[in-house]
Amino acid sequence: MFLDCLVTPFTANAFMQNALMAGILVSIACGIVGTFVVLRGLAFIGDALAHGVLPGVAIAMMLGLPGMLGAAVGALGMIFGIGFITRRSNLSSDTAIGLLFVGMLALGVAIVSRSHAFSGDLVRILFGEILGIRTAELVTQLAATLVIAALAVTCHRPFLLLCFSPEQAEVSGFPPRRFHAIMLLMIALTVVVSFRTVGTLLVFGMLLAPAASAALFSRKIITMVVSASAIGTCSVYAGLLASYHLNIAAGAAITLSASLLFFILLTARQLMPRPAGAKS
Amino acid sequence: MTAAVEASGLGVGYQGETVVADIAFRLEPGQVLALVGSNGSGKTTLLKTVAGLLPPTAGRLDVLGARPLASPARVAYMGQFHPSSFMLPLRVHDVGRMARFARHGLLGRLTAGDERAVREAMAVMGVSALAEAPLNALSGGQRQRVFLAQAFARDADLILLDEPAANLDGAARAIYRRQLHSLTAAGRAVILATHDIDEAAECDRTMLLAHRVVAYGPSAEILTQKALLSTFGMVGKYQEGGIVIVEREHGHDDCEGH
């Protein structure tokens, strides 16, 4: 009976299988990218990118174009905008990110609010529709996840050095600006392909919560990436189950599961005996 | 013979603003140059310019016969700050291995020779026993030894060290100084930034900096009371064979006894 509750929703419903598949792919992409977001302190830019795609998606939908295309244009606009403001002013990148973040979000809401027909779209953009995922979208998500994984493997040395010290990356022959830009593009790609699944508002939670949970226990970056992906997958599974049985929004349930897992793991770590440290 | 570093009319600074101008020196392989000066005198700025982290504001600078950063595998740099290291899930051994990335680019495999170089550098700096320890569990002194091991594991022809003896206890300082001697004996050139006059006295050459080059030459000739007074700008005196620098900074007196 209990096992039925855990398994049957997925075996009996094709839409739940698709949702699980899409969620796992999102978890892997977010696990890889989220690790670097957490380690490099890029949470704010991740948040800004997740919200900054809104006007792009809204305009694309108004014009009858794929939302993903609009999201990609919005994300690239954010990245170039942040670079432009920081280069042309003495403002910190945090200020530039904040300015564009609120501006883009407000623009997106303003565009959507022009028509009642779009209010449903706004909910879909912000919270996703993982239960309505089609096979073609799964293929796109798979391709994006493979691209992200390939980039992470190819750039793992400069990414590690960037996390350790951008100066060490530079003197090792890996220009920090170039690899920082690649990292931002990976965040943007994750946000763009994930917004259909968990929505722009919640993809940020999937970027951050599993990676932050993994950081509590990991002693190697590769362990952190794998753990973050696994924790994300568990969150997707638990969230979908909760959504199915409790009739709550799937995207929100997934992200809520990821956040709850973080607090459970944090509490567990506090309760665990501390290992003997090397400090003296 | 190609100089390890050769500079003439060199200006160093940030965003086009010169901190120290008209720097001229030539460092041969097998020599150690100490950059000595008070905080903000330009030591780190010059070191970073040689490393290729900052563009020169003027003049000419050749590093191992080419422009800075032309041969990343042949130059090791240890900066003062590692702001991210506290939360990074890295083991000590992983930090050492990073030194070898410059030789292999994005995807080239690390060889047995690379692993041996890392192990040897860690052994020299006395951190072999910490190889599996997380970096963020180490004390400041242990971490400094790990960063020095990382610089030495590069097996570079030019080694740039910014305040390398900071946080080191007496025993670790002795180990580090022995390693400097063996590196220079093997023909490696070293530039280090330091406040430690004793450390500078052991180097082949010293450059005293105070937003300008106060003096440059063989350490024995350069480290005079008069030159040190010009460099640090305050009272100095010899005491029991050592030098005491009394430096006024932001209205306070700091003393460094040696």
Measured between beta carbons, which residues in chain B are less than 8 angstroms from residue A173? Answer: 69, 72-73, 102, 105
Below-50 pLDDT ranges, chain A:
277-280
B82 contacts A280? CB cut-off 8 A: no
Chain A closest CA to B88's CA: distance in Å? 6
A277 belongs to a structural domain: no
**Mean pLDDT, chain B, integer:** 84
Kindly report the pTM of this predicted structure.
0.85
Positive or negative, the Cα torsion across B101, B104, B105, B107? Answer: negative
The DSSP string of A7-57 is HHHHHS-HHHHHHHHHHHHHHHHHHHHHHHHHHTT-HHHHHHHHHHTHHHH
B89 contacts A215? CB cut-off 8 A: yes
Contact of A160 with chain B, judged by CB distance below 8 Å, is answered with yes
A272 belongs to a structural domain: no
Chain A closest CA to B74's CA: distance in Å? 10
Contact of A42 with chain B, judged by CB distance below 8 Å, is answered with no
SS3 letters across B7-47: EEEEEEEECCEEEEEEEEEEECCCCEEEEECCCCCCHHHHH
Measure CB to CB from residue A173 to each of B72, B79, B87 and give the nearest one.
B72
Question: φ and ψ at B191, to 5 degrees?
Answer: -120, 130
pLDDT for the residue B237: 45
Chain A, window 139-158: residues with a beta carbon less than 8 angstroms from a chain B beta carbon: 154-155, 157-158
Give B56's strand partners: none
pLDDT digits (tens, 9 = 90+) for A93-118: 788 888 888 888 888 888 877 766 66
pLDDT digits (tens, 9 = 90+) for A223-278: 999 999 999 999 999 999 999 999 988 888 998 999 999 999 999 988 887 655 44
Domain enclosing residue A242, as ranges? 2-266
A40 contacts B101? CB cut-off 8 A: no
A108 belongs to a structural domain: yes
Average pLDDT over residues B149-161: 94
Measure CB to CB from residue A154 to each of B52, B89, B106 and give the nearest one.
B106
Cα separation, B152 vs B161, whole angstroms: 10
Whole-number percent of chain A with pLDDT over 90:
39
Shortest CA distance from A36: residue in chain B: B88
Cα separation, A14 vs A191, whole angstroms: 25
Do residues B150 and B95 touch, judged by C-beta distance below 8 A? yes
pLDDT for the residue B234: 57
C-alpha distances out from residue B136 to A212, A226, A236, B83, Å: 16, 21, 31, 11
A183 belongs to a structural domain: yes
Nearest to A30 by CA among A190, A183, A214: A190
Measured between beta carbons, which residues in chain B are less than 8 angstroms from residue A167? Answer: 48, 51, 53, 77, 79
Do residues A42 and A30 touch, judged by C-beta distance below 8 A? no
Tokens 């900052």 label which residue? B54
The DSSP string of A224-259 is HHHHHHHHHHHHHHHHHHHHHHHT--HHHHHHHHHH
A174 contacts B98? CB cut-off 8 A: no
Number of domains in chain A: 1
Measured between beta carbons, which residues in chain A are less than 8 angstroms from residue B82? Answer: 164-165
A135 belongs to a structural domain: yes
Give the number of A-B residue pairs with CB atoms closer than 8 Å. Answer: 91
Domains of chain B by range and CATH? 5-257 (3.40.50.300)
User: Token pair for residue A92?
Assistant: 């910190």
A237 belongs to a structural domain: yes
A280 contacts B142? CB cut-off 8 A: yes
pLDDT for the residue A101: 84
A164 contacts B101? CB cut-off 8 A: no
CATH of the domain at A128: 1.10.3470.10
User: Token pair for residue B221?
Assistant: 């000739």
A171 contacts B53? CB cut-off 8 A: yes
B98 contacts A168? CB cut-off 8 A: yes
pLDDT digits (tens, 9 = 90+) for B78-136: 998 665 545 788 899 999 999 999 999 999 899 999 999 999 999 999 999 999 998 88
pLDDT at B257 over 70: no
Cα separation, B30 vs A144, whole angstroms: 51
Contact of A169 with chain B, judged by CB distance below 8 Å, is answered with no
Contact of A223 with chain B, judged by CB distance below 8 Å, is answered with yes
- Identify from A35, A165, A174, A182 which residue to disrupt to test chain B contact, counting B C-beta atoms within 10 A and taking the largest count: A165
| Tally of CB atoms within 10 A around B35 | 29
- The ipTM estimated for the assembled molecules is 0.84
Nearest to B191 by CA among B93, B51, B96: B51
Cα separation, A58 vs A36, whole angstroms: 29
Measure CB to CB from residue A165 to each of B76, B82, B91 and give the nearest one.
B82
pLDDT digits (tens, 9 = 90+) for B175-214: 988 999 999 999 999 999 988 888 888 889 999 988 888 8
| Tally of CB atoms within 10 A around A41 | 12
- C-alpha B28, offset from chain centre: 16
B252 pLDDT band, cuts 50/70/90, is very low
Which one-letter amino acid corresponds to residue A94? D
DSSP A200: H
A271 belongs to a structural domain: no
Measure CB to CB from residue B89 to each of A167, A174, A221 and give the nearest one.
A221
Whole-number percent of chain B with pLDDT over 70:
87
Do residues A221 and A269 touch, judged by C-beta distance below 8 A? no
By DSSP bridging, strand B236-239 and strand B242-249 are antiparallel
Measure CB to CB from residue A161 to each of B81, B89, B98 and give the nearest one.
B98
A279 belongs to a structural domain: no
B77 contacts A168? CB cut-off 8 A: yes
Buried b / exposed e over A196-233, threshold 16 CB at 10 Å, is bbbbbbbbbbbbbbbbbbbbeebbebeebbbbbbbbbb
Question: φ and ψ at B17, to 5 degrees?
Answer: -90, 120
